[in-house]
Structure 1
Amino acid sequence: TTGAAGSGSCGIGGGNPIVVEAPALQTTLLAMRQLVKSLFSHASSKPFREPVDYLKLQLFHYPSVITKPMDLGTIQKRLDQSAYERVDQLRADIDLVWENCITFNGATSWIGKEAGTLRKFAEKKFVQAKLSPN
C-alpha cells in the first residue's frame, strides 16, 4: 500500500450523537455498510483500504506522528463485528483516515489530495444516506 494516514481531530460537527433505536438499527447498519462499500469502490480508495505498512515503506517515524492509525479495511471489520453503536462513531473513524493521511503527507501531496477527494465523497454519501448527525 502506498500513502499514509495521520492523527488529528476528525472534524465532525458538535451536537448530540445520533443513537439508533432497535427497529431503525438494521436499516441504519445497512446504510452504514453500503456507505463503506461505496468508499471501497471509489477509484481513489486503494491506498486507504489497508493499514499503512510503515515498515515495508520504510516510514519508521510513522507511529510517532500517527498515534491512532485508521483505514477502510479496519472500519469494515469493525462494522462487521457490530463495533459501531452510533453513526458518529463510524463517521469519526472515516474522518480519521483522511485526517491521518493529510497530517502525515500534507494536504498538497498527491495522496493528501486523494484524501480530500474521498472526504468530500464520504460527506456526500453520509448526507445521501441520511446518516448526517445534523
Structure 2
Amino acid sequence: MSVAALIVVALLFGGMVLYAFGFAAFVFKALPAEAAGTLIRQAFPHFYFFVIVVSGLAALLLVPVDGVSATLMALVAVSTIPTRQALMPAINNARDAGAMRRFAWLHGGSVAITLAHILVSGYVLTRFI
C-alpha cells in the first residue's frame, strides 16, 4: 500500500487516541470542571474537523490501493459530519439546559462514535501488514 496512505491513517488513529484518551482526560484533571468543560467545548469542533479532513484524505489516498480501506475511511469522514454539526450542538444544548439524562445519552453516543472511528482506523492500519 501507499506510504502516504499509511502515514495519514496512522496520523488519524494516533490523533484520535491522543485526543480521546490523553488530552480530554488531562484537561479534566488539570482544570476545574467548569473551565475544563469550556475548553473541551471549544476544542471539539477542531477535533471533528481534523477527523473529517484526515479521514477524507486517507480515503482518497487509499482508492487506488485498497477499496475496502478507502470505503471505511470515507465512512469515518462522512459519519463525522453529522456528529460535528448536529450531535455536538445537541450535547451542548442538553448540558446548558441542565438535561443531564439527555446529555449523558448524547455524550455516550459521541463516545461510541469516536471509539468506533478509532477501531475502524486501527483495522485499516492492520490491512497494511
TM-score by shorter chain over 0.5:
no
TM-score by length of structure 2 reads: 0.39
TM-score with structure 1 length normalisation? 0.38
In terms of Rg, which structure is larger? 2
Structure number with greater CO (CA < 8 Å, separation at least 6) is 1
